[in-house]
Amino acid sequence: MSLLRQLLISVTLAIVVILAGVMIFSIGSARQYLDTQLQAQSDSTATSLALTLSQPSNQDPSVRELLIAVLFDSGEFRVAEFLDPTGRILVRRQLNDSDGAAGAAPGWFSHLLPMARHEAQRQVSNGWNQLGVVRLEANDAYARDSLWNSSVRIVLLTVAAGVLWGLFVLALMRWLRRAIQDDVMARVQAMARTEGGSDLPPVRHPAMVELREVSQIITSTHKQVRATASEREARIESLQLELNRDQTTGLANRKYFMNEFRRVLEQSDPHQAQGGHVMLFRQCDLQAINQTVSRRVVDQWLTNMGQLVQRILVDRLGSEAWLGRLNGSDFAFLMPMVPGPVAVRIAQFVGEMLQAQRIQLGHAGLCRWRQALTDYEPGEDLSNVLSRLDEALMRAESAGHENVEYLPGAALQSLAGGRGSGEQVWRELLRDALAENWFELDTAPDRFSPAGGSRRIGMLMVREPGASEPLSGYLFMPPAVRLGISAACDVRGVELALSWLRSQPGELVLRVSLASILNDEFLDDVTARLGPAPEEAARLVVELDSYGLVADRERVVAFVAALRKHGVRLGLRSFAEQPEALLYLHEVHPEYLRVSGNLLAAQAESAGARRLLEAIQETARDVGAAVDLTAGS
């Protein structure tokens, strides 16, 4: 119950008590007045009648009876009688209830407010001689009727006053509620709805001092709430930026990017659900960059990279695409509803920009970006898309080229046979392949043979029992490098290469990964297998990525020197991507250099590309190496 209602009910109860008291006292006073009047009337009448009967002319019994009858017939007395001195009734007149003595007042009222008996008696004498006694009892029927009528009028007046007060209370409560609703509740609700963001409705009852004071307090509170809300919104926005943005670049962080990506994949509306593409690019040398230049410069460089990529996306796709930083060296952006050819062109454009903005790492050359691209379909599981993207990135890292590695979902399923592409799947597959010897060697003609002889390129394969097609090293070597078991795979490749050379004439080119060379046990395992087969080792050519000569020159030079003792020769691929390797050709004396088709295509339009190609050819002649210009690798 509200305080206002309690107050009004209390006042109403007090007024009811007051009205009831007034009514009771008014009726009691009226009854007392009527009792007094009846008693006085009885006394005066009895006195007058006694004096009249004391007259000698009225002492005749018949006259006496006549006078008493006349007085009784007036109806003002209930009993009128004359007694002799001994108390014997000589004349008696009495009014019965059937004769109207009860009056109009109801019986319950007469019992509730009874009237006193109003009797009066006087002596009648003749001189000193006593003749008798006159006794009168007043008829209170008229007094009760008068008291009843008066009581009815008082009750009606009291009830009318109560009804009027009740109506007044109802009107007052309604008015107060409306005033409170308009000036208090409505303003508070407006303040709650707008959270202090807009003005409050005006005060409609300024005449009420109490409400005016409350309205002033509400207005003051509203100003404080508005200030607090502004501070809170600023704080929330700041926290959202901290939670959803990378502090260095200002791009979306991993958590926000993945949540948005998951939301796109789980789009419930079939009309809005659209496929698209996602690109991941990684800075492979971030640790070396941090050791080469200051942290502030690195942060600014990464920020500039993010801004440049963002500008490309906005120019090509508008606001549809968005970019995020997944960790220190990984960045990714979504391209919703973008078809494959358009996504590939945009990815290549981004890749070209990244290559143009690389940082010099001292003698190790320029830092490396590796890019991976894949598609996604509505309803596809996020983990599948990320696994496919990670697979493409592993291939890009293993291949060592600067192109975007595009791995659509359909291509991965067809190549991997629906096996899956997570690290755990690859770990189990390669572990079983090493344990069960599922490796085999496939060969293809090498279009470039410097000596004019027959040379073939060996390709390490894994044939899983029951599989229709074997897995090429292009598929399983990137995860093998990631899992740290590439050395074991390359050792198995050397064994298969020597076995092939025992049964086949000509030379064989076998590619070896840099990760295997960096393994401490790999060189011993390879030399242990080359020692018993000097004739086959003399026809073996080990081909390395040129980046290895720049990234870890000492280990690569030592590995090449150890192989040369067994007659194994060296070939370098992807040489155009690592022109810094020209500085170290004299230390390894390769058999040949493979130059990518990109450099060959660019020499027609770029003077720098032509000069680079000329420098490669000239340096190769100086160290006795041939240059493969037939195709890109």
> From its phi and psi, is residue 381 left (phi > 0), alpha (psi between -120 and 50) or beta?
beta
In a domain, residue 239? The reply is no
Four-residue CA torsion sign, 142, 144, 145, 151: positive
What b-and-e string marks burial along 209-237, b requiring 16 or more CB atoms within 10 Å of the CB? eebeebbeebeeebeebbeeeeeeeeeee
What angle do the packed helices 423-436 and 486-503 form, to 10 degrees? Answer: 40
In a domain, residue 545? The reply is yes
* pLDDT band at residue 330 using 50, 70 and 90 as cut-offs: very high
- Say whether both 359 and 465 belong to one domain: no
In a domain, residue 564? The reply is yes
The DSSP-derived string for 195-263 is TT-SPPPPPS-TT-HHHHHHHHHHHHHHHHHHHHHHHHHHHHHHHHHHHHB-TTT-SB-HHHHHHHHHH
pLDDT tens, residue by residue, 481-508: 878 899 999 999 999 999 999 999 889 9
CATH of the domain at 496: 3.20.20.450
In a domain, residue 287? The reply is yes
In a domain, residue 184? The reply is no
Q: Where is the domain boundary, 378, 394, 417?
A: 417
pLDDT for 512 equals: 92
CA dist 168 and 172 (Å) reads 6
- Say whether both 352 and 391 belong to one domain: yes
pLDDT for 188 equals: 72
Give the residue from 428, 398, 427, 395 showing the smallest Cα distance to 412: 395
- Say whether both 413 and 426 belong to one domain: no
- Say whether both 434 and 392 belong to one domain: no
pLDDT at 99 > cutoff 90:
no
pTM, to two decimals: 0.52
Residue with token string 């410069």: 297
pLDDT tens, residue by residue, 557-572: 999 999 999 999 999 9
pLDDT tens, residue by residue, 104-154: 677 777 677 677 677 788 888 877 777 888 888 877 677 777 778 887 888
In a domain, residue 190? The reply is no
- Say whether both 134 and 253 belong to one domain: no
Give the residue from 324, 337, 345 showing the smallest Cα distance to 280: 324
Q: Hey, what are 539's tokens?
A: 């026809």
Residues of the chain with pLDDT > 70, as a percent, come to 84
In a domain, residue 178? The reply is no
Domain with 131 in it? 3-164
* Mean pLDDT, rounded, of the chain: 81
pLDDT tens, residue by residue, 204-226: 656 566 666 777 777 777 777 77
* pLDDT band at residue 194 using 50, 70 and 90 as cut-offs: low
- 480-485 own/partner pairs: CB under 8 Å, 24+ apart: 480/426, 480/430, 481/394, 481/397, 481/398, 481/513, 481/515, 482/394, 482/423, 482/426, 483/423, 483/426, 483/427, 483/430, 484/515, 485/430, 485/431, 485/434
- Say whether both 106 and 140 belong to one domain: yes
- Say whether both 599 and 490 belong to one domain: yes
CATH of the domain at 383: 3.30.70.270
pLDDT for 633 equals: 43
- Say whether both 471 and 613 belong to one domain: yes
Q: Where is the domain boundary, 364, 386, 417?
A: 417
pLDDT tens, residue by residue, 387-435: 888 888 887 877 666 778 888 876 665 544 445 555 677 788 889 999 9
pLDDT tens, residue by residue, 426-474: 788 889 999 999 999 999 888 876 555 688 999 999 988 877 778 888 7
Q: What is the DSSP secondary structure assignment for residue 115, as one 8-state letter? A: P
In a domain, residue 348? The reply is yes
Alpha-carbon torsion angle 210, 211, 217, 219, nearest 10: -160
Residues 281-303, mean pLDDT to the nearest whole number: 89
What b-and-e string marks burial along 383-400, b requiring 16 or more CB atoms within 10 Å of the CB? ebbbbbbbbbbbbbbbbb
| More confident site: 613 or 303 | 303
Residues 518-526, mean pLDDT to the nearest whole number: 92
- Say whether both 394 and 521 belong to one domain: no
Q: How many domains does the chain have?
A: 3
Other Cβ atoms closer than 10 A to 177? 14
Task: Find which of 457-466, 535-544, 589-598 is predicted with most confidence, using mean pLDDT.
Answer: 535-544
pLDDT for 72 equals: 77
- In a 3-state reduction of DSSP, which class is residue 41? helix
Q: Where is the domain boundary, 119, 147, 164?
A: 164
Q: Do 353 and 308 meet the contact criterion of CB atoms below 8 Å apart?
A: yes
- Say whether both 497 and 628 belong to one domain: yes
Residues 354-363, mean pLDDT to the nearest whole number: 82
- Say whether both 426 and 402 belong to one domain: no
- Say whether both 369 and 482 belong to one domain: no
